[in-house]
């Protein structure tokens, strides 16, 4: 086994364990801030770094909600809770997600998203048109009476890059190309009882360095270099910036966003405020077959 493949596998095993811990700890009254920080700490304890801030997106929030520095939100049933997390081992990434229900009546929606992931994994292999994966997801979700979220998709990944150029659509598409051996994909069906697409909120707490072009301001350029050195092209949390550089760092971060050196990921909400469910695995495509490094559906067979 190559050193690179070992690292893809190691990252997947850590993400799998972290999601198992999430299943054990997510409960009524749980603090989103405490959950995110405890899961990020657990990933580090297992020998990896978070590949991005832990996302805890509830009900109509589809993605990109990660608690802010002093977030006071808690989980209250009924709730459909998406936990989306990543592990990075020397830049080799696992990206995985599960949905947990708290006193919710949306069991059918959650099971549909789970089934869509299983069906997608039956289709994805070297040589397959990625649009066929989207077609299988769309068919699975619509036959159950729900809608796939058409403007969210899975994605190819490479070292230190969560989105490396190809998409795995959640609907039938002819624009995504073919999967090839040697590629790595995050496959993530989203199902909803809403309109089937997401819109951006004005808020967000997840960032990524988009360019190292200097600003001409000493502290901003210092922080920009440090953010790149620590996270390379991977997303990071404002919590991490605050922990290291305090209020001055937070103000500088906002300036870097305004100067388009750093990208802000806005929270994504279902357009009709429909409830959203999500499941996600990381798949490594090899000459010998497809290796599922995260195996999130196994967590629900225990």
Structure tokens that stand for 46 in this block:
């297992």
pTM: 0.97
Across 15-34, average pLDDT: 98
pLDDT at 187 over 70: yes
Place 175 in a pLDDT band, splitting at 50, 70 and 90.
Answer: confident
What is the length of the chain? 302
Task: State the pLDDT at residue 132.
Answer: 97
Query: Would you tell me which CATH number, out of the four given (3.60.110.10, 3.90.230.10, 3.40.50.2300, 2.40.37.10), belongs to the domain 3-201+272-300?
Result: 3.90.230.10
Across 90-115, average pLDDT: 96
Across 175-182, average pLDDT: 93
Across 215-230, average pLDDT: 98
The CB-based long-range contact list for 257-262 (8 Å cut-off, 24+ gap) reads 257/207, 259/215, 259/220, 260/210, 260/211, 261/209, 261/210, 261/211, 261/212, 261/213, 261/215, 261/220, 261/224, 262/207, 262/208, 262/209, 262/210, 262/224, 262/227
Place 184 in a pLDDT band, splitting at 50, 70 and 90.
Answer: very high
pLDDT at 1 over 80: no
Just list the catalytic residues: 84, 95, 155, 163, 188, 280
Place 174 in a pLDDT band, splitting at 50, 70 and 90.
Answer: confident
- Which DSSP string corresponds to 181-200? TT-EEEE--EEESS-S-EEE
DSSP conformation class of 91: T
269-295 pLDDT tens trace: 999 999 999 999 999 999 999 999 999
52-85 pLDDT tens trace: 999 999 999 999 999 999 999 999 999 999 999 9
Task: State the pLDDT at residue 105.
Answer: 84
pLDDT at 35 over 80: yes
Say which CATH class 206-265 falls into: mainly alpha
pLDDT at 37 over 80: yes
Task: State the pLDDT at residue 144.
Answer: 98
**Any idea where the domains of the chain sit in the sequence?**
3-201+272-300, 206-265
Across 220-240, average pLDDT: 97
pLDDT at 126 over 70: yes
């Amino acid at each position: 086994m190559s050193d690179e493949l070992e690292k893809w596998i190691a990252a997947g095993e850590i993400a799998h364990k972290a999601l198992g811990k999430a299943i054990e700890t997510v409960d009524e009254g749980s603090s989103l801030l405490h959950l995110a920080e405890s899961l990020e700490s657990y990933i580090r304890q297992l020998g990896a770094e978070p590949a991005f801030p832990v996302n805890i997106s509830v009900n109509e929030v589809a993605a990109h909600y990660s608690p802010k520095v002093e977030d006071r939100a808690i989980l209250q049933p009924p709730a459909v809770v998406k936990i989306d997390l990543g592990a990075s081992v020397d830049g080799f990434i696992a990206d995985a997600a599960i949905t947990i229900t708290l006193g919710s009546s949306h069991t059918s929606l959650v099971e549909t998203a789970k089934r869509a992931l299983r069906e997608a994994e039956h289709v994805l292999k070297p040589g397959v048109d990625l649009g066929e994966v989207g077609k299988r997801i769309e068919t699975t979700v619509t036959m159950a009476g729900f809608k796939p979220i058409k403007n969210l998709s899975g994605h190819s990944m490479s070292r230190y890059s969560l989105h490396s150029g190809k998409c795995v659509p959640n609907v039938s598409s002819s624009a995504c190309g073919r999967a090839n051996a040697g590629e790595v994909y995050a496959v993530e069906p989203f199902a909803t009882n809403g309109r089937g697409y997401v819109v951006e909120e004005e808020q967000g707490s997840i960032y990524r360095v988009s360019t190292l072009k200097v600003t001409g301001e000493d502290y901003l350029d210092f922080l920009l270099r440090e953010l790149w050195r620590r996270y390379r092209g991977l997303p990071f949390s404002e919590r991490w910036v605050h922990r290291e550089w305090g209020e001055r760092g937070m103000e500088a971060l906002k300036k870097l966003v305004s100067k388009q050196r750093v990208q802000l990921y806005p929270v994504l909400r279902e357009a009709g405020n429909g409830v959203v469910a999500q499941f996600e695995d990381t798949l490594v495509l090899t000459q010998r077959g497809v290796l599922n490094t995260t195996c999130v559906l196994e967590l629900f067979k225990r």
